[in-house]
Amino acid sequence: MGTTALLSVFAFLAGLIDGMVGGGGLIQLPALLLLLPRVPVPTVLGTGKVASLAGTSASAFRYLRGLTGVPIRWRTVTVAAVVAGCFALLGARAVSGLNKELVKPLVLTLLVLMAAYTFWRKDFGSLHAPRLHGSRELWTGVALGAGLGFYDGFFGPGTGSLLLFAFVGLFGYDFLAASASAKVVNVATNIAGLAYFISTGQVLYHVAVPMAVCNVLGSLVGARLALRQGTGFVRVLFLAVVSAFILKLGWETFS
């Protein structure tokens, strides 16, 4: 199997996981780095962004079509998405001037707290009961978009899972509505990041296009599974993906 074909398989698997709970970068990015060892890292990241954007857009569309009886809070989600896109671009530009290694321990701590809270709160994300309203909801969306948008542009891995947790924990959404909202915001951050990589000529299109197609297919399958199985299934898978990310990031931080 050729390199592009193998990367397309990994892109499908990444889309499958990402379509359900986020975290597809745990699969796709290591595969790109391993199978394209002579390609500069910024070009690897830009190539992966094409696939990620395509898959996230497809799963967002599938969630929005499949959610029945759970209205998306469009004003808040749109504001968060626009702010996140702007800050993702700032994060991408700042990546050359800051030490990303300093971010890892902070993200690792945050993920451990997320996993512990989700595990102990058995009802976490099971009910859709938005708890913020008016200007408070709007400004929380701005803060969420700024913080996680910058993180996605600067560092990236786990953004989808962090967004999912934030929409459940801060806004009171259930896991399915939070997944849909997180996907919309993640589309904005991916667009901003990809715009930066395209403008600097750091995309391998002959690799990115087949990966994008496979990522879309995986994302659609993943979103359909999540919608069919319900919030309990998404909660368990969310814990599994976050635990895997904790192990990976912990190994990189302490090894």
Is 0.75 surpassed by the pTM of this model? yes
What pLDDT does residue 233 have? 80
Q: What is the average per-residue pLDDT within 159-175?
A: 88
User: Is the CB of residue 60 less than 8 Å from the CB of residue 184?
Assistant: yes
211: Cβ contacts below 8 Å, ≥ 6 apart? 4, 7, 8, 11, 28, 47, 48, 50, 51
- What pLDDT score was predicted for residue 97? 63
DSSP per-residue codes, 44-63: HHHHHHHHHHHHHHHHHHHH
CA–CA separation, 200 and 171 (whole Å): 37
Q: How many CB atoms within 10 Å of residue 59?
A: 33
Q: What is the pLDDT of residues 4-37, one digit of tens each?
A: 999 999 999 889 888 887 778 778 888 888 899 8
State residue 220's pLDDT score: 93
* CB within 8 Å of 167: residues ≥ 6 apart: 173, 177, 178, 181, 182
3-state SS track over 62-77: HHHHHCCCCCCCHHHH
Helices (H) and strands (E) in the chain, counts: 10, 0
Of 211, 212, 213, 241, nearest to 226 by C-alpha is 241
CB atoms inside a 10 Å sphere around CB 138 = 16
Does residue 153 or residue 157 have the better pLDDT?
153
State yes or no: pLDDT of 234 exceeds 80. no
**Six-digit token string for 71:** 């209205």
- What are the residue ranges spanned by the domains of the chain? 3-254
pLDDT tens profile 49-60? 999 999 999 988
How far apart, in whole angstroms, are the C-alpha atoms of residue 88 and residue 65?
Answer: 27
Q: What is the pLDDT of residue 226?
A: 84
Tokens encoding 82: 């626009």
Most confident region among 10-24, 75-89, 224-238 by mean pLDDT: 75-89
With contact defined as beta carbons under 8 Å apart, do 24 and 223 qualify? no
**pLDDT score of 69:** 60
b vs e for 193-228, b when ≥16 Cβ sit within 10 Å of the residue's Cβ? bbebbeeeebbbeebbbbbbbbbbbbbbbbbbebbe
Which two three-digit tokens encode residue 146? Answer: 């700024």
